[in-house]
Amino acid sequence: MNNKMKRIIGIDLGTTNSLSATVFDEGPEVIGTDGDFSVTPSVLSWTGSGWLVGQEARERRITNPENTVYSIKRLMGRSLDELSETVQDLPYQIVEAQRQLVKVRIGESKPYKEFTPQELSAEILKKVKQRAEEALGESVEKAVITVPAYFDDAQRQATRDACRIAGLEVARFINEPTAAAIAYGLDEKRDLQKDGHVVVYDLGGGTFDISILKLSGKIFKVVATHGNTQLGGDDFDQVVVETLKDRIHQEHPEAEFDDPESKHILKKTAEFIKIKLSFSPETDYSLDFSKKSMSFSGVFKLEEFESLIAPMIEQTLESCRHVLREANLSVKKIDEVVLVGGSTVIPAVRKQIESFFGRPPHVAIDPYKVVAIGAGIQGHLLAGGRRDFLLLDVIPLALGIETLGGTFSKIITGNTTIPIEESETFTTNVDNQTSIDVNIFQGERELIKDCRALGQFKLRGIPPMKAGLPLVEVMFRVDANGILTVSAIEKRSGKKAEIEVIPFHGLTQFEIERIMEDSFEHAVDDFNERQLIEFRQTAERVFRGIEQCWDVAENDLSETSRDEIQKQMDVVRQSMKGQDSQALKTQLDVLGDLTRPLADNSMGRSILSELQDDANLNQ
Amino acid sequence: MTFEQPACQKCESTLISHLFCLSCNAFQTVPPEIDYFEVLGFPVCFEINSEDLEERYKSLSLVLHPDFFAAAPEEEKRLSEKASAMLNTAYNSFRGTTSRAGYLLSLFSKGKNLNERTLPDGFLQEMFFLQESLDELLESSDSSALNKMNEDLRTRHKEIESYYAPLFKNFKDLPEDSDILQQLQTHLNAERYLRRLLDRIPATD
Amino acid sequence: MELGLVGAPECGDVMKLQIQVNPETNEDAKFKTYGCGSAIASSSLLTEWVKGRHLDDAEQIKNTEIAEELALPPVKIHCSVLAEDAIKAAIHNYKSRKKIDV
Ligand SMILES: Nc1ncnc2c1ncn2[C@@H]1O[C@H](COP(=O)(O)OP(=O)(O)OP(=O)(O)O)[C@@H](O)[C@H]1O
Ligand SMILES: [Mg+2]
């Protein structure tokens, strides 16, 4: 990378996991410090004065259930109405805020702490940014951020606000499946056809996307996209949770599970079962509700799990049919199928995709990493590192206005390549009318009640004229990020009509600034305290990791190495009791160096071992 | 109408697209009424080879797209976004046979006072009847009858689309004959009714 | 029972309006429209307006009134024209059958 060029990293801001990637001299790769795992779980935990983010937060799910928050991405740009089902399943509290916004409420009684999803998402971004900076040894200011292809304008705007709060400049938003296609398509080692139609099937923790791309030369053109921003691994967990509840009820009819601790335990066990069943035909599980002094164990069979998730897989196939129709293609015309997202590891999902498309899908690049890597490559392009490929993406859903009592009139149709500009002319209904209200919606249905309200414009400053005479041209612009902006001009007078956009789900500039100020104050106050908690937890995790592979270590490590490790563990234990976060960090780093040969990088195994771990703790 | 080869406002070499000079990589100042043929750099003519269209779209995208101007000054960023948007609009309009015919007709019929609402005789009655039959078929979920209807409609739709090229050719020879344009308008109107029907039939695989 | 079958080729809309006349007044009106939302809304508004009105009155309904009531944007004005055409056609059919001079 040349000196003048400022690096633009790629960030996959996931429902469950977030990670960053960039292009190194050796090629594109996930950013992560040696020995430490590079994924940041998208989980936050409130310490009373600040947030813990990532692995440390994830570990507090059971010990600190009411303060631990996950799956924030599902809340982005959504109103409480739209979230009613999701909200019931979540262990943390969600309350309605002004302008159809939602907030996460922390605390049992007043004074509560309340946070917008944008703020919380910003905390995750800050963490990812900070980890990337540590690993790269340089500051990071700009990033390509991935979003689900089926995110609507409100969800994209919310993500943009999160980036602003995190102090990250968004170089570009790109769609997750498209990012994956880039990572595959530009990987020389892979035998993906260079010309043809590629389907990307992306089933992650919270969202499902399906995109069809046409590859020709080095142009990646998205032909059509479809999806569901509320369908993913979380929902698979939830059906297992429901089954577990039913089973427990048979033995303990009076049991209730509405408290945060129970919800977390159930969710965690469900995910454990789900992941186990990706590798074996049945699995044991045990639940220990310590606060209720109740425990329960049993066996979960693959068959049962598969029948539970079958309707959801069918829903994704329905999207596949839809997108093929939109693209005007038959299954036979599809040359390659690429699977992305943790939930595509599930054998039933793979089987169904294979039989639907009549060919085995590509899964070779780690499905957890591929989106981030694609974003990293795109960042490299934007930074000027290469210019030999081009991504042409689309807007997923039509944009338009309410024309009259409840009907939706499209101005930009869905699956149109971006950037795009379209205009529509409005006029007045009454003599001397000087303003017009326009409601903007997004969706694919005929009636606005079935579409998403994005906001309202007020066109002001129209010169007074007879009704029907003014011609106000309203311009809808969707930029290369897929984000809409609007401007207007009165054509007879050439006067720019003023436009005031009132977003229904977004934050105002003022709100963003206030949040940034608040979080800055917090940051200064709690820095040491938070670091101390983080490092102590890291230490405990490292200890558990060491214990787990100590047997293996007997063969791998020399007698002296093992002694050194034992001694250093004592030093760390001593440091953990103190109040100096930096001292603890230094000792931990030494321990990290000593145990490097033990580190294991495979994510699937690491999730498993950690969950296994929690399961053991519960017993 | 003749096709003039325009020159770059900066280096004066011949332009393909009026938007951008491929020789000196300069954005051109374009009037708002620039037409899609000028955007894509094709002569004003109905028949455009679809491979040529794809090729042209790709090569222009590869120089105009905002991704290549991420580090450029604001002004250039804006120009690239504007030019890309125009290119996308023109390309989308030319990709479909009917939309291309409609666009060309709108250029040719300027100041010509065509009746924009003509339909073939008895067509409306037939369309209403077909819509009602479709209602019934959709309700009965008789998939074989539905498939049959789908195929019939598609055949008719293709047939209509096959009328455009010869009519535009005739018009080239007889540019004073507005009646040719009126016939085109009638076909375009009929096409819209067929498309509405087709849009109502759900996908089958 | 009188029919008016009209179309708006701008959008591929087709509308059938039925009116029941007795003796000079529209007793009842029904419509069936295949088309875009604006066309359906225009048709529905029209049928409401013509019910119980004298024929001569109903004939005077202008598309601009419909467009104004529904705040149609310029590109959708033809939907209100469709509704006006429909009532005109239905009344015309009625009158020509009754052999009343128009
Ligand atoms: N081996 C496995 N078997 C089944 N599910 C798995 C497996 N490994 C991970 N998952 C599930 O995959 C999901 C996480 O996948 P991923 O990291 O791709 O999602 P994400 O990027 O965070 O979410 P999204 O893309 O929806 O925002 C979780 O629901 C997790 O439980
Ligand atoms: Mg993902």
Q: Which residue, of A141, A175, A209, is where some domain finishes?
A: A175
Least confident of A58-72, A184-198, A310-324, A601-615: A601-615
Do residues A398 and A439 lie in contact, with contact meaning Cβ atoms separated by under 8 Å? no
Please tell me whether residues A503 and A537 are part of one structural domain. Answer: no
DSSP string, A158-222: HHHHHHHHHT-EEEEEEEHHHHHHHHHHT-TTS---SSEEEEEEEE-SS-EEEEEEEEETTEEEE
What is the reported pLDDT for A519? 65
Closest CA of chain C from B132, distance in Å: 9
Tell me whether residues A322 and B203 touch, CB distance under 8 A.
yes
The pLDDT of residue A615 = 39
Asked if the model's pLDDT at residue A366 lies above 60, the reply is yes
Note whether A466 and A607 are same-domain residues. no
Neighbours of A97 (CB within 10 A): 15
Residue C1 host element (H or E): none
SS3 A476: strand
Q: Which of A175, A204, A235 is the last residue of a domain?
A: A175
- Whether A202 is catalytic is yes
Same domain, A610 and A548: yes
Q: B71 and A390 in contact by Cβ < 8 A?
A: no
Q: Could you tell me if A535 and A495 lie in one domain?
A: no
| Nearest CA-CA partner of A155 in A339, A338, A15, A327 | A15
Q: Which CATH superfamily is domain B20-95 in?
A: DnaJ domain (1.10.287.110)
Q: What is the tally of helices (H) and strands (E) in chain A?
A: 15, 30
Q: Which of C72, C81, C84, C88 is nearest to C38 (CA)?
A: C72
Among the bound ligands, the one closest to the CA of A179: 2
Is the CB of A22 inside a 6 Å radius of any atom of ligand 1? no
Partner residue facing C12 (CB), from B118, B125, B193: B193
> Cα angle at B188 between B186 and B190, to 5 degrees?
70
Residue of C nearest to A445 (CA): C37
- The pLDDT tens digits of the residues spanning A161-218 come to 999 999 999 999 999 999 999 998 887 766 666 788 999 999 999 999 999 999 988 8
List chain A residues with CB under 8 Å of B92.
416-417
Is B74 in a helix, a strand, or coil?
helix
The pTM of this model reads 0.83
Ligand closest to CA A151: 1
DSSP string covering C63-100: HHHHHHHHT--GGGHHHHHHHHHHHHHHHHHHHHHTT-
Distance B79 CA to ligand 2 centre (A): 33
What tens digit of pLDDT does each residue of A66-88 get? 899 999 999 999 988 888 888 88
User: Ligand 1, atom 5: nearest CA belongs to which residue?
Assistant: A343
A418 pLDDT band (50/70/90 cuts)? very high
Residue A348: other Cβ atoms inside 10 A: 16
| Region label for C65, one of left (φ > 0), alpha (ψ between -120 and 50) or beta (otherwise) | alpha
Q: Which of B118, B128, B186 to mutate to test the interface with C (most CBs of C within 10 A)?
A: B128
Q: Does residue A74 sit in the same domain as residue A156?
A: yes
> For residue B63, with 0-12 CB atoms within 10 Å meaning exposed, 13-18 middle and 19 or more buried, which class applies?
middle
Rounded percentage of chain A residues whose pLDDT exceeds 70: 89
Q: Which residue has the higher pLDDT, A507 or C5?
A: C5
Domain membership flag for residue A255? no
pLDDT-wise least confident of A2-6, A226-230, A587-591, B70-74: A2-6
- Cβ-based neighbour number of residue A304 at 10 Å: 13
Please give the DSSP secondary-structure letter assigned to residue A109: S
Residues A492 and A538 occupy one common structural domain? no
Three-state secondary-structure class, residue A495 = strand
Residues A469 and A598 in one domain: no
Percent of the residues in chain A that have a pLDDT greater than 90, as a whole number: 47
Confidence of residue A317 (pLDDT cuts 50, 70, 90): very high
Name chain B contacts of C11, Cβ cutoff 8 Å.
192
pLDDT, mean over chain A: 85
A346 lines ligand 1 (CB under 6 A): yes
Could you identify the atom of ligand 1 that is nearest to the CA of residue A39?
Answer: 17
Host domain of residue A15:
8-175
* Interface pTM, i.e. ipTM: 0.86
Going by the DSSP 8-state scheme, the letter that residue A361 receives in this structure is: P
* Among A160, A175, A190, residue at a domain's last position: A175
CB contact under 8 A, A403 and C74: no
Residue bearing the bigger pLDDT, A614 or C74: C74
Q: Which of A343, A370, A611 to mutate to test the pocket of ligand 1 (most atoms within 8 A of CB)?
A: A343
Nearest alpha-carbon partner for A272 in A247, A313, A244, A291: A244
Tens digits of per-residue pLDDT, B168-193? 999 999 988 889 999 999 999 999 99
Asked if the C-beta of C100 comes within 8 angstroms of chain A's C-beta atoms, the answer is no
Q: Is C68 on the interface with A (CB under 8 A)?
A: yes
Confidence band of A601 (pLDDT split at 50, 70, 90)? very low
**Residue A183: inside a domain:** no
Residue B150 clears pLDDT 70, i.e. is over it: yes
d(CA A327, CA B58): 19
A235: Cβ below 6 Å to ligand 1? no
Min Cα distance C9 → chain A (Å) is 17
Give the list of residues 6+ apart from residue C86 with CB closer than 8 angstroms, or none: C4, C5, C6, C15, C16, C17, C31, C43, C46
The answer, yes or no, to whether any atom of ligand 1 lies below 6 A from the CB of A276, is no
Compute how many other C-beta atoms are within 10 angstroms of the C-beta atom of residue C102: 7
- Looking at residue B32, its amino acid is P
Tell me if C34 and B128 make a contact (CB, 8 A cut-off). yes
Does residue A117 sit within a domain? yes
In this predicted model, what pLDDT tens digit does every residue of A541-567 receive, in sequence order?
A: 778 777 777 766 666 677 888 888 889
C41 interface with A at CB cutoff 8 Å = yes
Has residue A452 been placed in a domain?
A: yes
* Residues A448 and A528 reside in one and the same domain: no
Measured CA to CA in angstroms, residue A349 lies from A148, A345, B5 at distances of: 19, 7, 56
Cβ-contact C82, C15 below 8 angstroms: yes
Residue A108 confidence (pLDDT): 77
What's the number of domains chain A is made of?
A: 3
Q: Are residues A13 and A105 in the same domain?
A: yes
How do beta strands A336-340 and A196-203 pair?
parallel
- Give me the residue from B81, B88, B203 closest to A479, CB to CB: B81
Comparison of pLDDT for A236 and A546, the residue scoring more: A236
pLDDT of the residue at A610: 47
Atom of ligand 1 nearest to the CA of A207: 26
Q: Tens digit of pLDDT for each residue in A382-404?
A: 999 988 899 999 999 999 888 76
Q: What is the pLDDT of residues A451-510, one digit of tens each?
A: 888 888 777 888 888 877 888 888 899 999 988 888 888 888 777 766 666 666 777 777
Residue A53 sits in the same domain as residue A145: yes
Radius of gyration of chain C (CA): 13
Of A12, A16, A208, A338, which is best to mutate to test ligand 1, by the most ligand atoms within 8 angstroms of its C-beta?
A: A16
pLDDT at B147: 92
- Cα(A233) to centroid of ligand 1, in Å? 6
Quick one: which of B21, B20, B15 has its CA closest to B3?
Answer: B15
Residue A503 is predicted with a pLDDT of 67
From C72, which residue of chain A is nearest by alpha-carbon distance? A403
Question: Given A56, A152, A161, A176, which residue is catalytic?
Answer: A176
Give the pLDDT band (50/70/90) at residue A605: very low
Q: Which residue has the tokens 């509700």?
A: A289
Q: Across A276-280, A406-410, A523-527, which has the greatest mean pLDDT?
A: A276-280
Active-site residue A176, yes or no? yes
SS3 state at C101: coil
Is A51 within a domain?
yes
Tell me how close the Cα of C64 comes to any Cα of chain A, in angstroms.
10
pLDDT of residue A527: 66
Same-domain check for residues A439 and A566: no
CA–CA distance, C47 with C82 (Å, rounded to integer): 12
How far is it, in rounded angstroms, from Cα A163 to Cα A142? 10
Distance (Å) of CA B199 to CA A119, A178, A519, C43:
43, 28, 51, 21
Residue A406 lies in a domain: yes
Closest CA to A389 of B67, B50, B78: B67
User: CB-CB: which of A171, A219, A419 is closest to B84?
Assistant: A419
A342 CB near ligand 1 (under 6 Å): yes
